[in-house]
Chain A
Amino acid sequence: MQNLMDAKTLAYINMFGVLGTLENLCELVPEANEIIKDQKPISIGFDVKGGPAATLFFKNGKCRMEQGCGACDVKLPFSSPEKFNGLIDGTVTPIPSKGFTHISFLLKKFTPLTDVLSKYMRASEEDLKDPVFFERSTRLMLYTIGVAIAQIGNNDEIGKFSASHIIDGSIYIGIKNDIGVELICKDNRLVTVKKPPEKYRAAMIFDSIETARALFDGKVNALTCIGTGKIEMHGMVNMLDNVNRILDRVALYLA
């Protein structure tokens, strides 16, 4: 683990920011939807000792994630955040503690699904030449980053310091006014909603999906983009100031 990062926070990001993006993947990407569209309802629980717990539900061709894994068909226990993080980076193979009869779903559907996710989250230059792929991939990255902001603000020691300076209210982070996430701050705790809010106190808006992508890929400087107006900030800018400090740590965790 690098300096200034902790495994538990990374586990929360991996759970809700990475695996949680399967919700959107199945909705946005036909290739992903194809994998689960005929699947009978099934749920997979991820139980991380000393870390997060959540369940992915697959039903009617859709996927959704809920916190906790009290009632799931397949349960994957992890003895530590490090072990769970190993699942995400491919170095750990999980062994179910419940639901052995559903192993085939894990192997034949869930694993291919995560492969599609990886394809979109770590996109190749070639794939990105397709404008449809480009749009979907960038949108998914925005959702992952948006959720990661909340997880870092709620779990990472330095992130919590930043969050402690964010006043209550809604923050919009988005591409123009149609693709975006809402960060809700209440008593210095952050929650991400993966759609634009109706009303907000502060907003950080990218002028185009290309700007957002270039920023996510580290190809442009965020401050320069603000200076040129490619990223517009308005409203309670002090909220954004602290969100931006967390965003700096998102890059560290998701690198």
Chain B
Amino acid sequence: METFIQISINALALGSIYALLSLGFAVIYNTVRIFHVLHGAAFLIAGYATWWLAQEQGWPIYLAASTAVILAGASGVFMELAIYRRLRVRGAGFLVSFLGSLAALFFFEGLLLTLARTATRLPRAGGPLPTLHLQSDALGIDLFIKWHSVYTIVLVAILVVVVTLFFRYTKWGRMIRAIASNPDLAVAVGINASSVYLLVFVLGSTLAGVGGVMQTYEGGVIPNVGIRLAITAAGGVIIGGIGSMPGAVVGGLALGAAQTIASYYWGGNWAIPAGFMLLLLVILFRPYGLLGTREHRELRRLL
């Protein structure tokens, strides 16, 4: 029982970060229809910004983290204006946009390698994080729970609710859904597609930035993980169901759970293969994703 609880908490903490990444990816992909590999860059920007502001400039950690998230969101503006909008104007198709995104990610990682080197950048003094020790002989438990894991799970849950409410009840949320559902019709009725695209990149990048801050605070940040992050984000979206925001969250959580369970039963080297195995099984047996349905997909793109 104790082990089950410990593993569940581990899975939830890891899955929460994945869920954030996947949700941010889904926000962008569902609207703009771009395989946004550069999504990992927002994560890295937030991580490195947190480290630099907190450790190098001596800022209080909450101020550094908040600023880092804002910077990550702002990077979304840059990505849209400097890369994707230019490609759209030139009539670039899906594949060219994907390759452009990939090239930009590799360039960005190379830049990080040059500027920040490969040392793990931790935005705090080194050492273990505070933990909550739950012990009860009567219940037969002896658990150590990182407070940081608790904060991460709660924060992600709050963000998911906020994003859900945003899309359902706000004017901008409805505009995004309209563009995602039928861009031509949406433009015809007067929705500014360019503004909407800009907003989704800010929103998606901000979500990735929050993930970057949380993970960096715990384990530091290194430059060469952009591809892995992009695959994780995309994998969560596919597992959960393309076009479904809740699906992206569920997909991310499922990925975290699969990796944690595989790591426990078969060893740490099976974590990544287990994630891909889950992805493969979903594609083979439920191609619309865990929360996707044919009706859902055809009638409602978002929520």
Specify whether A and B are partners: no
A residues bordering B, Cβ < 8 Å?
none
Interface residues of B (CB under 8 A from A): none
